[in-house]
Amino acid sequence: MPQYKVNYFNVKWLAEPIRMILSYGQLDFEDRRFTDAEWKTIKPTTPCSQTPCLDIEGGKTLAQTKAICRYLAKQTGLVPENDWDAARCDMAVDYADDFRNNHNYVRVFFYTEREAQKEGLDKFLEDAPKFLVNFEKLLKENGSNGFLVGDKLTWADIYVSHTLSVIQETLKLTGNDLSFDALPQIKAFIAKVEAVPSIAAWIKKRPKTKG
């Protein structure tokens, strides 16, 4: 029986950094994916009536993506040893959330009114360059090793690279392209994280989803 069970919808979005960290650490886990209808039944049983959740052997359940990621990162050596670098990881991750949540980006895809969707997308795309420039800045400030913090992979690298990648992927579904061609360090950063053998193996076998 797997020690961990990830509970989420059949998409990457908020649960994928959790799956990637588990895969990086080669920790056995059950990847439970449910439908919207099933979620209505599951929701009251979760700690915060939210998903994703992580079930841990022994009857424990943890909610909130970043809390789960930090917990697993400590199990897999992905948290820096000093407080300053750990705080910089938190900074990069929180900024990735700022980017994802800008102008209710995720909700744009649930708007039934086309005009409301277009307005949200337009505002998101207008602001996107400033976020991307700042991510490049963080990479440059850390030197030439391709990581966001320190000289080795951290959970922030996994979280941020996924966030950038899934936003780019989801935007394509709307006919928009968030190109990283003019941002070579971001492009190389995502490729570097996704090339880590245990992460690459997960990416190869994970279900194909839209976002």
Q: Which domains does the chain have, with CATH numbers?
A: 4-76+200-205 (3.40.30.10), 83-195 (1.20.1050.10)
pTM of the model: 0.94
CA distance 49 to 45: 7
Q: With the CA atoms of 26, 27, 30 and 36 taken in that order, what torsion angle do they form, in degrees rounded to the nearest 10?
A: -80
CB 128 within 8 A of CB 178: yes
pLDDT score of 211: 77
Closest CA to 60 of 73, 50, 46: 46
Structure tokens at 103: 């102008």
What averages of pLDDT result for each successive group of 10 residues across the chain (211 residues)?
88 96 97 94 94 94 97 97 97 95 66 67 87 95 95 98 92 82 93 98 93 77
Q: With the CA atoms of 91, 20, 153 and 94 taken in that order, what torsion angle do they form, in degrees rounded to the nearest 10?
A: 0
CA distance 144 to 151: 9
The answer, yes or no, to whether the previous bond of 197 is cis (omega within 30 of 0) is no
CB 140 within 8 A of CB 185: yes
pLDDT score of 175: 81
CB 93 within 8 A of CB 39: no
Q: Which residues of 68-90 are buried (b: 16+ CB within 10 A; e: fewer)?
A: bbbbbbeebebbbeeeebbebbe
Tokens 């086309």, located at residue:
114
CB 21 within 8 A of CB 162: no
Distance of CA 133 to the CA centre of its chain: 19
If DSSP codes are grouped into helix, strand and coil, which group holds residue 31? strand
For the chain, the distance separating the N- and C-terminal CA atoms, rounded to the nearest angstrom, is 29
